Structure formats: structure tokens, C-alpha cells
Amino acid sequence: MPQICVVGAALIDLVAYVPRLPAVGETLHGSVFRTGFGGKGANQAAMAAKLGARVSMVTRVGRDTFGDSMLENFHELGIDTTHVGVDESTSSGVAPIAVDANGDNAIVIVTGANDRLTPADAERARETIAAADVLVCQLEIPHDVTLAALSIAREESTLAILNPAPAARDLPCAAFELADVLCPNESEAALILGREVDAGEELAAARELRSLGPRAVVLTLGERGCAISTDGLELVRAAEPVAAVDTTGAGDAFVGTLAVGLALGEDLAAAAARANHIAAMSVRLPGTQSSFPSLDLLSRHR
């Protein structure tokens, strides 16, 4: 059974389905409202757990109804919550999300208790990180915590995936150098590189990102799949065409699946192909974690 440790944010999604994304200052009537479990770290942990991995989560929630619900959700997914702290003075994180008729979305995150994570929390999870096959990190929590977790993974010889989301211009170079696999999307890559990634330039962009220090880059391209750059391998993996209902969380489905594939010993191309497939399945249903397929569902679709 592959072992994954995720250090990242846990949020409650507050999702409104609208005919189109509103302009600045505009009020729209939505059609449906749903709540769900989110946060990039929690999403990626949920995806890995649904694929049968043994997952540990390092995060923080508030002492409130949302925090209680997130803890219960982790337990139902079989995710180890030994390193999920409960903050007594700050609310749990939330993410208001608007989803339009094409399945595209706009997201605001209020990270709340996640901001109270410290490098000491990562250090307390050192044994868990060391025991994992793969560590997964993102940037929704304080960057010094992500850096601490990546440093521990390097010291303990645990393979580390960094999903640089949301992208940040001020991310220390050490974060790239400590990542075994850097996995941004196109907008995140553009912010890191300081230029747009035009069609046909995906491999060049992945190569340029790899020059920043990671051992490999998997650049996700949405409905076009992903571009891979590593020693001895550069290619674009096409994604299967699907009618998208809701793209929220598709990138997290990709990253969580990629982590499981690498933990199972698959090469990067094979793990990315599986991640493309799972991400494509996830956009066919509304919601975030609720749209992620399980092993049982995958077996029925074979």
C-alpha cells in the first residue's frame, strides 16, 4: 500500500453555480448552492486515499462546525489525522467558489486556521514524512512551513512533489531546488516564469521551469493534458476529451493521482497518464472531493 504525506490547507468549499462568472461590481442570480470539502492539500490527500493509498495529513482547522466536519471527513476517508491541529482562536478556512455554465470557476480562499501552521508542525511530522513514499506540498499555507516540509523530505530521502498553487512571485529558490517534481498549471507557470506560456511552447516552458532546480516538471495543461520534462524524457501527454460539468479540483485530482503513481513505483510518464485520466473523470461531476473517482468506480469503468 503506497504511503503519502500531505502538508497543506484544508477548507470548506462554498460553491455557487452561476450562468457566467460575474464582472466587477455585478450581482448575479445563481441556480444551485452546495458546500463541500476543499483546500488543495485536503483535496490531494482525499484523491490519494480514494485510490487506496495510506495517507497522513498535516494541517490545522478551527474549533468550529466546519473544523468538526473536516475532521469527520478525513476519518471517513481513512486519512490519518495525528498531525491535524485544532486552533482554539481562529476559524476554519473557507473557499467561496463560483462555477459557470461551462464548468469554469473563480475561487477566493480565506485560509483561517491554516495560517497558524508553523515549521514546528512540519518537524513534529518528521517521522510521518520519513515513512512516506511521497510528500505532497502546495502554497496555501505559510511558505516557511512548506519549505520546512520539503527540507525534511530531502533529508529523509522521501520523494517530494510541489504543486506551486496558488502561485507566488516571492517563492524562495530553495522551494524549487527541494522539489523532486514541480507540478504547476499554465497560469502558475506563467507567474513563476514572468511570461505567458503560449500554445506550442509547453515543453520549452517545462524545460525552463526545470532549470530553476526541480528534478522533474509536470506542467498541467487542462483539457490538453500535460507536458513532462525530466532527464532523458520530454513529452506532451494528451488528455481524453470530456464534456466538463465542473473543473473545480481537477488539478488536485491530477496531483493526488500523480503522487500515488510515483509511490507505486511508476515512471513519471505512466503516472502522469493515469493522472490525466483521473482528472478527466473528475470534471464530469459537480463538486470537488465529491467528484473524485474511487477505486471501486474505476474498476466499474474498465
Catalytic positions: 252
Question: What is the distance between the alpha carbons of residues 274 and 279, in angstroms, rounded to a whole number?
Answer: 9
- Map residue 163 onto helix, strand or coil: coil
Closest CA to 236 of 254, 224, 250: 224
Is residue 268 within 8 A of residue 226, CB to CB? The reply is: no
Strand ranges for the chain from DSSP E: 3-7, 11-17, 32-38, 54-62, 80-87, 93-99, 105-107, 134-137, 159-162, 181-182, 216-220, 226-230, 233-237
- Map residue 262 onto helix, strand or coil: helix
**Secondary structure letter of residue 116 according to DSSP:** G
**Secondary structure letter of residue 202 according to DSSP:** H
